[in-house]
Structure 1
Amino acid sequence: MHPIPAQPLDGSHDREIESLAEFDEVVSAHGTLTHYRVQAVDLTDRTGVLTSLDSSGAVYLGCPMAPDAAAAVRACGALVFPPVPDLPFDPYRGRLYAPDELFDRLGEGYEATPDARAYAWFRRTRGDGDVFASMLRSIHDDAVSDALDELLAGSRVVGVMGGHAVARGTDAYAGTARLGRELARSGLTVATGGGPGAMEAANLGAYAAGFDDAMLREALHLLAKAPSFTPSVTDWAQAAFEVRGRWPGGGASVGIPTWFYGHEPPNAFAAHIAKYFANATREDGLLARSTAGVVFLPGAAGTVQEIFDNATPNYYESRGEPTPMVLVGRAHWTEHLPAWPLLRSLARDRPMEHRIALVDRIEEVPEALKRLGD
Structure 2
Amino acid sequence: MTATPHDREIESLEEFDHVAARGSLVGYRLQSLDLTARTADLLRVETTAAVFLGCRMEPEAAAKVRADGALVFPPVPDLPFDPYRGQLYSPDDLFAGLADGGYEATPDALAYAWFQRTKADGDIFASMLRAVHDDAMSDALDELLAGAGVVGVMGGHAMGRGTDAYAGAARLGRELSRAGFTVATGGGPGAMEAANLGAYTAPHPDGMLDDALLLLAKTPLFVPSVTDWAQAAFEVRERWPQGGDSVGIPTWFYGHEPPNAFAGHIAKYFANATREDGLLARCDKGVIFLPGAAGTLQEIFDNATPNYYGSRGEPTPMVLVNRSHWTEHLPAWPLLRSLARGRSMEGRIALVDSVEEAPGALRRLLAATPGPTAP
TM-score range, shorter chain: over 0.9
Q: Which residue of 2 aligns with 1:155?
A: 148
Q: Which residue of 2 aligns with 1:19?
A: 12
Shift of 1:48: 1.5
Instruction: Identify which of 21, 36, 45 aligns with 1:53.
Output: 45
The alignment status of 1:85 with 2:83, answered yes or no, reads no
Mapped partners of 2:186, 2:6: distance in 1: 32
The alignment status of 1:33 with 2:34, answered yes or no, reads no
State TM-score, norm by structure 2.
Answer: 0.96
**Is 1:12–1:35's contact at 8 Å kept on the other side of the alignment?**
no
Aligned residues: 364
Secondary structure of the 2:33 match is coil
Q: Which residue of 1 aligns with 2:98?
A: 106
Q: Which residue of 2 aligns with 1:314?
A: 307
Mapped partners of 1:307, 1:12: distance in 2: 32
Q: Which amino acid aligns with 2:46?
A: D
**Is 1:13–1:36's contact at 8 Å kept on the other side of the alignment?**
no
**Is 1:258–1:277's contact at 8 Å kept on the other side of the alignment?**
yes
Q: Which residue of 1 aligns with 2:88?
A: 96
State TM-score, norm by structure 1.
Answer: 0.96
Mapped partners of 1:234, 1:101: distance in 2: 15
**Is 2:23–2:44's contact at 8 Å kept on the other side of the alignment?**
no
Q: Which residue of 1 aligns with 2:132?
A: 139
**Is 1:125–1:133's contact at 8 Å kept on the other side of the alignment?**
yes
The alignment status of 1:244 with 2:276, answered yes or no, reads no
Q: Deviations over 1:89-147 (max 9, x none)?
A: 00000000000110000011100000000000000000000000000000000000000
Mapped partners of 2:151, 2:7: distance in 1: 28
Q: Which residue of 1 aligns with 2:372?
A: none
Instruction: Identify which of 184, 191, 194 aligns with 1:201.
Output: 194
Q: Deviations over 1:235-268 (max 9, x none)?
A: 0000000000000000000000000001100000
The alignment status of 1:324 with 2:317, answered yes or no, reads yes
Output aligned runs, 1:121-270, within 5 Å: 121-270=114-263
Mapped partners of 1:89, 1:338: distance in 2: 40
**Is 1:13–1:35's contact at 8 Å kept on the other side of the alignment?**
no
Secondary structure of the 1:142 match is helix
The alignment status of 1:272 with 2:250, answered yes or no, reads no
Instruction: Identify which of 260, 278, 284 aligns with 2:277.
Output: 284
Change (3 A) 1:175 1:13: closer
**Is 2:6–2:143's contact at 8 Å kept on the other side of the alignment?**
no
The alignment status of 1:363 with 2:356, answered yes or no, reads yes
**Is 1:13–1:37's contact at 8 Å kept on the other side of the alignment?**
no
Shift of 1:52: 2.3
Q: Deviations over 1:153-192 (max 9, x none)?
A: 0000000000000000000000000000000000000000
Q: Which amino acid aligns with 2:65?
A: V
Secondary structure of the 2:152 match is strand
Name stretches of at least 5 consecutive residues in structure 1 with no aligned partner.
1-9
Q: Which residue of 2 aligns with 1:63?
A: 55
Mapped partners of 1:12, 1:294: distance in 2: 29
Q: Deviations over 1:253-303 (max 9, x none)?
A: 000000000110000000000000000000001000000000000000000
Name stretches of at least 5 consecutive residues in structure 2 with no aligned partner.
368-375
Identity %: 76
Task: Compute the RMSD of aligned alpha carbons.
Answer: 1.0
**Is 1:91–1:136's contact at 8 Å kept on the other side of the alignment?**
yes
Change (3 A) 1:25 1:320: same
